[in-house]
Structure 1
């Protein structure tokens, strides 16, 4: 009897404001090639994660901001992915997050499919425009109309409040699970944060024994010698 392949259930937490989340999204199919997976793309508000942990985002810190843009441009070049910085960054991603959820096949699940997720990411990171300019938002909404119609979405009517509440639930659930940044891939209760964690995620999914040892578990018990206020 042939043993059926293990199907890995992965949650991909994202906010389109993050260029690293965009790069990870584009790299994910290659990283997971040959595996049986179910990826659940779940939008969250990155700013709320940062606030909950008392942090600033990379683009809010002088020096780190410029480095971030240089690094993601280089990473995109190496990855062979088109990446253009938007007209201004950071920006308020709420309209994009809500549009993405408005196009979800099942709003109560809080997930966007890969097609919708890709449209939203490329809206931000290709073309160099203002992601939240009214005209560009209207164009993105037009591109998402087919998905909205399939679900019978009443956007931006009665669905608007439900979309807002679902985004809050997604973000609250991410925080409750210990997610602190985007992109994060969660599988079997373990979080893999960052575009550069994809090789580590793949090693775990391939069953590498290291993940059962102290290399993974010991850091959680490491004491802090000093705490800055």
Structure 2
């Protein structure tokens, strides 16, 4: 049985799409999934990447594309009232339900739906209170010597640093056997890997070994 580490940030529509479609894409295979929230903004900053929302025409295209994918593939997706937004409250709320940095599928799905269904403001105070009530049965007790969500904050930093060290530069990123499959459109490639496609024996490394053609 293969084990997948699913690096995610709730601010990403493609992470939501991948979360919903993964069970269908890998139907018939035996695997486990470890959902790990990371701070996308920190990963982008590390590589000097403004992200899709940092380029106005790309921002418009990204939202159209994500909405189309949801529409065409039967995944409910409505852009939130404001985007991008600061996902830290959501990431920390999710990780308050964790002891080791991973969250279960119920927690991940609850927060994703909060953002990507209904077209509302993801950071609306009343909605955040409702979300907290939904997640309350999943909460892990705080350590006696910590306060103000210190454990969740530390878990988020640890997840993000560990993801960067593994070569993760964006989300969704699905890691299996040390290979990182980035983006929603990598799901067919991930399935091919599970199917034992012989290309991965040499093609994976060969494709990435091409010489750099621009000055360093």
How would you bin the TM-score normalised by the shorter chain? over 0.9
Computed over aligned residues only, the root mean square deviation of the Cα atoms, in angstroms, reads: 1.3
Query: Are the equivalent residues in 2 in contact too, given 1:103–1:153 (CA < 8 A)?
Result: no
* Residue number in structure 2 paired with 1:174: 163
Structure 1: where are the runs of 5+ without partners? 1-6
* Residue number in structure 2 paired with 1:134: 125
Shift of 1:159: 6.1
Instruction: For residues 64-109 of structure 1, give each alpha carbon's deviation from its aligned partner in whole angstroms, at most 9, with x where no partner exists.
Output: 00000110111001110111110110000000000000012xx1x2
* Residue number in structure 2 paired with 1:222: 210
Residue from 136, 152, 163 that aligns with 1:163 = 152
Q: How many residues align structurally?
A: 214
Structure 2: where are the runs of 5+ without partners? none
Instruction: For residues 31-74 of structure 1, give each alpha carbon's deviation from its aligned partner in whole angstroms, at most 9, with x where no partner exists.
Output: 11111111000000000000001101111111000000110111
Q: Please give the residue correspondences for 1:1-229 in structure 2 after superposition, counting only pairs within 5 Å.
A: 7-104=1-98, 107=99, 109-148=100-139, 151-153=140-142, 158=147, 160-213=149-202, 215-227=203-215
Query: Are the equivalent residues in 1 in contact too, given 2:142–2:151 (CA < 8 A)?
Result: no
Residue 116 of structure 1: SS of its match in structure 2? helix
Shift of 1:158: 2.6
Shift of 1:10: 0.3
Q: TM-score, normalised by structure 2?
A: 0.96
Taking the aligned partners of 1:33 and 1:56, their CA distance within structure 2 comes to 35
Query: Are the equivalent residues in 1 in contact too, given 2:10–2:115 (CA < 8 A)?
Result: yes
Q: TM-score, normalised by structure 1?
A: 0.90
Taking the aligned partners of 2:141 and 2:96, their CA distance within structure 1 comes to 10
